[in-house]
Structure 1
Amino acid sequence: MNTGIQDAHNLAWKISCLLKDAASPSLIKTYESERRPIAISNTALSVNNFKAAMSVPAALGIDPTVANTVHQVINSSFGSILPSTFQKAALEGIFSIGRAQLSDFVLNENNPLGSSRLARLRAIFDEGKIGFRYLKGALVADSDNETQETVETAATYKRGSRDYVPSGKPGSRLPHMQLRMLNASENEDSISTLDLISVEKLEFLLIIAPLKDSYDVARVAFKVAETLRVSLKVCVIWAQGSAPADASGSGQEVEPWKNYVDVEEIQRSNSKSWWEVCQMSNRGVILVRPDDHIAWSTEIDSVENIVQQVERVFFLILGAVRTSS
């Protein structure tokens, strides 16, 4: 079900771009190149998860096949003629043996058998896998990406644990971080970076820091998006405590465009800043697709020609025609 929902999310914004004549039909081809590997991966993962689920009772000394065999015998033509009291007693006997394996008397660290089973159980639970990342499709792939795979399921989790590792790399889902709107009252609830993605219209999101060079990129991106007839919103993330007291924000810096929002990080003690979460510096730029996945990210210092680079980015994502050489 999750895979199907993700498929629809991936495809919807691409169809919308086509209907608005903002993209080439080649954009639709990226649906298969992005989602088919995920579907295959998720199918394999489901099978592995089922096997892992069956390994849990086995690790605890319970064999699911025994209860299944008894159930099949009872439901067979032979078993159906047995008295119902006998059938019930047989099942209850099997279940009582299973429950005994889970008792505190057996399953504890002081019991060598119980300690061994608990260790096996922890090893099973530590094999969790969370997240995925597109490596090619409607995005600008990492220049240092040497793999030929089309999807990376190991980029967003640490093997051996269930710890999710956020990333600002292209193809990854936009990481979550709590933010405060710059012009919000103190009583207003915080929002997530994921709340910045529009759910009402087709819109790309450009995330920058309040730096002169970053504002230059934002103005160019606004102009290119306008030419290509796609909506773009710019989000300026201020470090906690650095936002201007008068909430003047970035209005003058992005004029004449108005579709921008100023937000401030909400950091807890010992937590990372937004750019640290994304494994980037505050001279980074992140362009997010309407389906929450990052289409392009880079450090400003690595961009030689802003106009050409931004046009190239939208061209690669949408398959659109360049507006200048």
Structure 2
Amino acid sequence: MSIPAALGIDPAIADLVHRVLNSTFGSILHSSFQKFALEGIFSLGRLQLSPFILNEDNPIGLNRLAKLKKIFEEGKSLQLQFPAEDLGFRYLEGALVDSGNDDTPSEAAVHSFRRGSRNYVASSKPGSRLPHMQIKALATIINKDSFLKKDNFSTLDLVSGDNVEFLLIIAPTKGSYNLARMSFDVADKYAISLKVCVIWPHGSSGMVFSGSGAEFKPRRNYIDVEEVKQPCSTSWWEMCHLSGNGAILVRPDEHIAWITESNTIKDPVSELDRVFFTILGKRP
């Protein structure tokens, strides 16, 4: 509670009011008085956060902002308490396509796991949140995206925060390029926006790099990126438990809608039509 305390919202005051209202004395007070007391406390709390107090021209506000800055710089802000649930939450049904080889545990097993472990394990199974990996842009084709100005960024940054847009992640293989081109066409038919990310292996920037422009021309809504591997870390496709022919379709909410191996699809157009119909719940 260090942050609200630094902002002048002392948790002890709220706790005191709560104890008084629930005491023998508080229970005999009329409900209108109890409501008045609570609204008074809320009003005082809102006042502490108002621009009138919380600004650098006000000595009180300046002091509180300095305390906040110190808390953040020293890494004492609220830490992630339940990574297994917050980052590892997975939809088991809805706008997603079952991969067909899922070993989804029973509800009892999931409950037991969550009580016994708080560790987050990255997963590419449909319904899971897109795993994080540090990457860097190899060609700023879609330079309208601000994250391309950074040296390194996250795979999660590939998901547009401003537009309702699907993301297809592939490797630079013939079959995956073919799947991506057809995905663009099917997305057009369904009148939805699609962006393609081609993830190249670590070290690709040291080679002669021409990019994926020839594969997608005249389309421009794609990006070539390279893995930024840390010592002893796995590759992107290893982490996702997919081969170099893998493809991952991500929803606008950062959750995975569909995964596949591009070299196993016999009729890509029909399969993509089935996938988008299942996810969107409607025909074009």
TM bucket normalised to smaller: 0.5 to 0.7
For 2:98 and 2:149, how far apart are their aligned partners in 1? 41
Q: Find the aligned partners of 1:160 and 1:314 in 2 and give their Cα distance.
A: 37
Q: CA RMSD in A?
A: 3.5
Secondary structure (helix, strand or coil) at the match of 1:224 reads helix
Q: Tell me which residue corresponds to 2:239.
A: 277
The Cα shift of 1:202 comes to 1.3
Q: Does the CA-based 8 Å contact 2:247-2:261 persist in structure 1?
A: yes
State the distance in 1 between where 2:85 and 2:160 align.
28
Q: Given the alignment, which residue of 200, 203, 206 partners 2:168?
A: 206
- Counterpart of 1:140 (choices 87, 97, 104) is 97
Residue pair 2:160, 2:252 contacting (<8 A) in 1 also: yes
SS at match of 1:143: coil
Structure 1 146/227 Cα, relative in aligned 2: closer, same or farther at 3 Å?
same
Are residues 266 and 303 of structure 1, via their aligned partners in 2, closer, same or farther at CA, if it must alter by over 3 Å?
same
Within 5 A, what are the aligned runs for 1:13-52? none
Q: 1:144 is aligned with what amino acid?
A: N
SS of the residue aligned with 1:205?
strand
Taking the TM superposition and a 5 Å limit, the aligned residue runs for 1:176-215 are: 176-183=132-139, 188-215=150-177
Larger mean CA deviation between 288-297 and 249-258 belongs to 249-258
Secondary structure of 1:204's aligned partner: strand
Q: Which runs of 5 or more structure 1 residues have no equivalent in the other structure? A: 1-70, 78-124
Scaled by the length of structure 2, the TM-score of the pair is 0.63
> Which letter does structure 2 place at the counterpart of 1:306?
P
Q: What letter corresponds to residue 122 of structure 2 in structure 1? A: P
8 A contact 2:139–2:223 mirrored in 1: no
Query: 1:237–1:264: 8 Å Cα contact kept in structure 2?
Result: yes
In structure 1, the partner of 2:126 is 170
AA paired with 2:192? V
Match of 1:40 in 2: none
Which amino acid in 2 is paired with 1:240? H
Output the amino acid matched with 2:119. Answer: D
Give 1:28's aligned residue. Answer: none
> Of the candidates 240, 248, 260, which is equivalent to residue 202 of structure 2?
240
| Cα pair 2:127 2:255 within 8 Å, conserved | yes
Identical counterparts, % of pairs: 50
Q: SS of the counterpart of 1:271? A: coil
Equivalent in 189, 197, 204 of residue 227 of structure 1 = 189
Q: 1:134 is paired with a residue of what secondary structure?
A: coil
* 1:215 aligned counterpart, secondary structure: helix
Paired AA for residue 182 in structure 1: L
Contact 1:158 1:164 in 2 (8 A): no
**1:313 paired to 2:270:** no
| 1:96 paired residue number | none
Query: How far is 1:234 from its partner?
Result: 0.3
Distance 2:228 2:83 in 1: 32
Task: Report Cα offsets for 1:208-236 as digits up to 9, x if no partner.
Answer: 00001000000000011111111100000
Q: Residue 129 of structure 2 contacts residue 255 of structure 2 at CA under 8 Å; is this kept in 1?
A: yes
C-alpha distance 201-159 of structure 1, shift in aligned 2 (>3 A): same
Q: Report the CA distance between 1:161 and its aligned residue.
A: 2.8
Check whether the contact 1:239–1:264 (CA below 8 A) recurs between aligned residues. yes
Q: One-letter code of the match for 2:127?
A: G
CA–CA distance in structure 2, aligned partners of residues 191 and 207 of structure 1: 15
Distance in structure 1 (CA, Å) of the matches to 2:259 and 2:206? 26
Q: Aligned partners of 2:251, 2:109: CA distance in 1, in Å?
A: 19
Partner of 1:260: 222
TM-aligned CA deviation for residue 154 of structure 1: 3.9
2:50 corresponds to which residue? none
Which structure has the greater CA radius of gyration?
1
Give 1:146-165 correspondences, 5 Å limit.
154=110, 160-165=116-121
Q: CA deviation at 1:160?
A: 3.2
